[in-house]
Amino acid sequence: MSSSQYIPGTCNIGSGEIRRRQVVAIIGAIISISSFVTLVMADAPRNARFGIFVPLMIASVGWVQSRSKFCLAYGFAGTFNMGKLGDISRVADAASKAADRKTALTILVKSTVLAAIITFLVVLLPF
């Protein structure tokens, strides 16, 4: 079930924007996997695996945003898009902007923690 109404601090993107973030998550995951395979096949030093954090961050930001139905960039910018892609609207009141910024920060922290945990697991893998 997808909401079609902007709800401050809860939902600031519609179905088209959610799909876009799902695609970003998939692309980030593919880049992460291919980077990992390349590092292992090249017998790169184990600490080189920390470089996988960047593609994992892309994947985790896309995934957390799509699951939350909330865009962190829109939240920080005070905008939302519940309609067709590119149809961005401004948040009208300060309380709604504050709620959106709080949610955006939460998404950024969740995504960073998720990417960091997976990165450390990848570094610890025995091959």
Q: What is the pLDDT of residue 4?
A: 80
Whether the model clears a pTM of 0.85, i.e. scores above it, the answer is yes
| Parent domain of 107 | 15-124
Q: How many domains does the chain have?
A: 1
Residue 103 lies in a domain: yes
- Whether pLDDT at 27 is above 90: yes
Classify residue 76 as exposed, middle or buried by CB count within 10 Å of its CB (0-12, 13-18, 19+).
middle
How many of the other CB atoms lie within 10 Å of CB of 33? 13
Domain membership of residue 37 (yes or no) is yes
The token pair that represents 122 in the structure block: 């990848």
Pure H helices in 1-127: 15-41, 53-68, 72-77, 94-124
List pLDDT tens digits, range 75-101. Answer: 999 999 999 988 899 999 999 999 999
**Residue 50 belongs to a domain:** yes
Is residue 27 included in any domain, yes or no?
Answer: yes
- Is residue 21 one of the residues assigned to a domain? yes
Residue 30 located in a structural domain: yes
Residue 113 lies in a domain: yes
Q: Is residue 88 part of a domain?
A: yes
Instruction: Dump pLDDT digits (tens) for 41-59.
Output: 999 999 999 999 999 999 9
Start-to-end C-alpha separation, the chain:
42
